[in-house]
């Protein structure tokens, strides 16, 4: 599955940049029929060799066939991530593609911040934070850069355009896990 989903994402970006693609979607679907089931994915682009983030767009909820979700998110990560200029053909040569397939998000019921700490598993849980019309998510991979609970959630609050201490307002928290696939 690794090679199929990463190739699908890479070829979607190639097509968006105007390159010819030899990816056989019909063949991929025959070999992996689960691609036609609704699925939620994130496509992350990192520059090599520094592995700096170059784009990351995804879906929290499964609402379309997984292959369509990967294609759409790959194109968006390359061309429409608001944090970056659109990917150029030259940059594309030095990009590593990562695809994360998400489980269904589950709401975390918690009394206070200390209780929440006992219900979050760093490096395993992706987290969705929502409060007053604002929201943000971090994939489980973000724990690698922000391994401390307070740093992780402070940054997630800021990403959601809330103050760094937004957990004190008791926002809605959901967790999910991912199957991560990355190019060699």
Q: For residue 33, what are the domain limits?
A: 2-102
pLDDT band at residue 1 using 50, 70 and 90 as cut-offs? confident
CATH number at residue 26: 3.30.700.20
Q: Are residues 98 and 120 in the same domain?
A: no
Kindly state the average pLDDT of the residues 159-182. Answer: 97
List all residues 6 or more positions away from 108 whose beta carbon is below 8 Å from its beta carbon.
Answer: 116, 119, 120, 173, 174, 175
- Same domain membership, residue 163 and residue 84: no
Domain end marker among 59, 75, 102: 102
Cβ atoms of residues 39 and 101 within 8 Å: yes
Structure pTM?
A: 0.93
Confidence of residue 2 (pLDDT cuts 50, 70, 90): confident
The residue among 102, 131, 160 that closes a domain is 102
At residue 144, the pLDDT reads: 95
Q: Check which CATH number belongs to the domain holding 128 and give it.
A: 3.30.1490.150
- Whether residue 115 is found in the same domain as residue 165: yes
Q: Are 22 and 49 members of one domain?
A: yes
180 φ/ψ angles, rounded to the nearest 5 degrees: -100, 130
Q: Centre a 10 Å sphere on the Cβ of residue 1 and count the other Cβ atoms it contains.
A: 13
């Amino acid at each position: 599955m690794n090679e199929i989903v990463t190739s699908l994402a890479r070829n979607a970006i190639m097509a968006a940049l105007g390159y010819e693609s030899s990816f056989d979607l019909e063949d991929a679907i025959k070999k992996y029929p689960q691609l036609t089931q609704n699925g939620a994915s994130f496509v992350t682009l990192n520059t090599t060799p520094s592995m700096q983030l170059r784009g990351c767009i995804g879906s929290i909820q499964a609402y379309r066939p997984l292959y369509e979700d990967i294609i759409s998110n790959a194109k968006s990560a390359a061309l429409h991530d608001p944090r970056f200029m659109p990917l150029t053909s030259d940059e594309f040569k030095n990009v590593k593609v990562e695809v994360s397939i998400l489980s269904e998000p589950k709401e975390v019921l918690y009394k206070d911040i200390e209780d929440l700490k006992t219900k979050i598993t760093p490096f395993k849980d992706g987290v969705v934070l929502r409060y007053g019309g604002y929201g943000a998510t971090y994939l489980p991979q973000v724990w690698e850069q922000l391994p401390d609970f307070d740093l992780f959630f402070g940054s997630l609050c800021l990403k959601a355009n809330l103050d760094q201490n937004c957990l004190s307002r008791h926002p809605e928290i959901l967790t999910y896990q991912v199957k991560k696939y990355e190019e060699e």
